[in-house]
Amino acid sequence: QVQLVESGGGLLQAGGSLGLSCAASGGSSAMGWFRQPPGKEREFVAAIGSDGSTVYVRSVKGRFTISRDIAKNTVYLQMNSLKPEDTAVYYCAAGTVLADLPTDYDYWGQGTQVTVSS
């Protein structure tokens, strides 16, 4: 079983930048980032496949960048121009295929809090 550990969350003001990292205990074909705002369901943020293909939710495209280091079993999410609506617990996930649904992923991290103030 793959274990995932997120890091890099924190508190910052709108317009700032923050980088998240997720270290996995083993390799996965696809890795993604999801977030769960207070009182809401988990929502897709970004994902990256084994070939480097990426997909983003429209609300973060152009601001967030997902990348991975396959050799290190690590996925990153660079978040720029952060907005208050980006406030959420961010989770990384690992699975077999590039997808945007939580049910398509097999393993999940504990999550890291990102809070953006206005």
pLDDT of 85: 97
pLDDT of 22: 97
pLDDT of 28: 86
- Alpha-carbon span 54 to 13, nearest angstrom: 27
Identify any residues that bridge with 20 across adjacent strands, giving them in sequence order: 77
Q: Give tens-digit pLDDT for 17-47.
A: 999 999 999 988 999 999 999 999 999 999 9
Q: 45 with 100: CB under 8 angstroms? A: no
User: Span 61-90, mean pLDDT?
Assistant: 97
User: Span 55-61, mean pLDDT?
Assistant: 97
- Alpha-carbon span 55 to 89, nearest angstrom: 20
Q: Which residue has the tokens 């152009």?
A: 62
Read off φ and ψ for residue 31, nearest 5 degrees. Answer: -135, 145
Q: 17 with 82: CB under 8 angstroms? A: yes
User: Span 62-87, mean pLDDT?
Assistant: 97
